[in-house]
Structure 1
Amino acid sequence: MASQHNPARTSSRLARSLGAIALMLAGILACAGAARADSAAQIREASAGALQHLYAAEPSTHELGEKAVAILVFPKIYKAGFVVGGEHGEGTLFKGREATGHYAIDAVSLGLQAGAQTFGYALFFMNHKSLAYLDQSDGWALGSGPSLVLWDKYTASSVSTTTLSQDVFAVPFGAQGLMAGMGLEGSKITRITP
């Protein structure tokens, strides 16, 4: 006798399989994050080096940095996924030349994705209000709170006091890997003590 197709059973198997993949990926990312955890000095050194490299590669960001009240630099964010994805990175907040804190950026996503990549991000806080939000929030979920604007060639070419009145500019840099996209939507930034 031929077996009959049961949509509920197929849906249940698919849900269990996706759940298992999600747990496996979360475990891999957690282990990778723990293995990558660096000391405060290592994070600070990598962040300062990445910022200097960014200034050399994109001179318009140097002017942005001079006008910012603080800069949060994530020198390397690791992103990986297969249906379920995640990202993690650690960085340093600079006020002038002084390192004033360390932060982690994390995200989990679900959707059509496959691959792995690393990239960096610098967040230029242009006013004290946006910086206070970072300091006072129990983790900043990007997309809420201060306005976040991507710094690209067009924005850089039209720098004025009007464009610099934004809260935070995000500058991606150093993309390497096989996964497209370096968006920060859905990411959460939290203060850490390495």
Structure 2
Amino acid sequence: MKKIRILGLFFLLGSLAMPLSAQSKKDQKIMKDADRAVKTLLNVNSELREYFDNSAGAAVFPNVGKGGFIIGGASGNGVLYHAGKKVGMASLKAVSIGFQAGGEALIEVIFFETDQDVEKFKEGNYEFDAGVSATMVETGVSVDAEYRDGVAVFTYAKKGLMAEVSVGGQKFNFTPF
């Protein structure tokens, strides 16, 4: 009986000490969705390859839900890539106010220009103010957005319909593996 307790304690302590790379099923699904989202974006507009290849990192949010009527909100979960490797999970929350009505599901990718910009994101509680804008990714449309304050943001609407002229902000959190 004593051996069973010791063995049980060993497994309990071992499971607590497991590296965070043993992600939850939810995190694993988000990572697979992020990989598919990147493929989708590159199929829709191959010019994004330059951003994926040359940025210091990218936060990929494959399933962002957004909706509103005068006051709006959005949320989603994603993956942070740094130097081409998945380094952790990220979440976003957004609020906005202005003329807006409808709802949509979209992919959002935030590219970071430098390693310092990635590190700033990793510190947690990263926020965008109303001055950062996103470029819609469309088939056959040139992607000519530039980095602004170290980031370039691209979105791709998967489904839904939303009309919007609003101001707001996005807040992000990061959890490393």
Q: 2:128 aligns to what?
A: 142
Given the alignment of the two structures, is residue 170 of structure 1 paired with residue 153 of structure 2, yes or no?
Answer: yes
Q: 1:41 aligns to what?
A: 28
More displaced stretch, 84-93 vs 94-103: 94-103
Note the aligned Cα RMSD (angstroms): 3.1
Given the alignment of the two structures, is residue 91 of structure 1 paired with residue 71 of structure 2, yes or no?
Answer: no
Unaligned 5+ runs, structure 2: 1-24
Unaligned 5+ runs, structure 1: 1-37
Q: 1:56 aligns to what?
A: 43
Give me the identity figure in percent. 21
Q: 2:163 aligns to what?
A: 180
Residue 170 of structure 1 aligns to which amino acid in structure 2?
A: V
Q: Name the structure, 1 or 2, with higher relative contact order (CA <8 Å, separation 6+).
A: 2
TM-score by length of 2: 0.70
Given the alignment of the two structures, is residue 72 of structure 1 paired with residue 55 of structure 2, yes or no?
Answer: no
Contact 1:148/1:167 (<8 A) preserved: no
2-structure distance, mates of 1:182, 1:83: 10
2-structure distance, mates of 1:105, 1:182: 20
2-structure distance, mates of 1:61, 1:121: 13
1-structure distance, mates of 2:86, 2:115: 16
2-structure distance, mates of 1:126, 1:120: 20
Q: From the superposition, tell whether residues 182 and 67 of structure 1 become closer, same or farther in structure 2 (CA, over 3 Å).
A: farther
Q: 1:121 aligns to what?
A: 108
SS at match of 1:93: strand
Residue 112 of structure 1 aligns to which amino acid in structure 2?
A: F
Q: Which structure: greater helix fraction?
A: 1
TM-score by length of 1: 0.65
Contact 2:104/2:159 (<8 A) preserved: yes
More displaced stretch, 116-125 vs 105-114: 105-114
Q: 1:33 aligns to what?
A: none
Q: 1:133 aligns to what?
A: 120
Contact 2:112/2:150 (<8 A) preserved: yes
Q: 1:31 aligns to what?
A: none
Q: Deviations over 1:41-82 (max 9, x none)?
A: 011110111011111211111011110111110111101223
Q: 2:6 aligns to what?
A: none
Q: Which structure: greater strand fraction?
A: 2
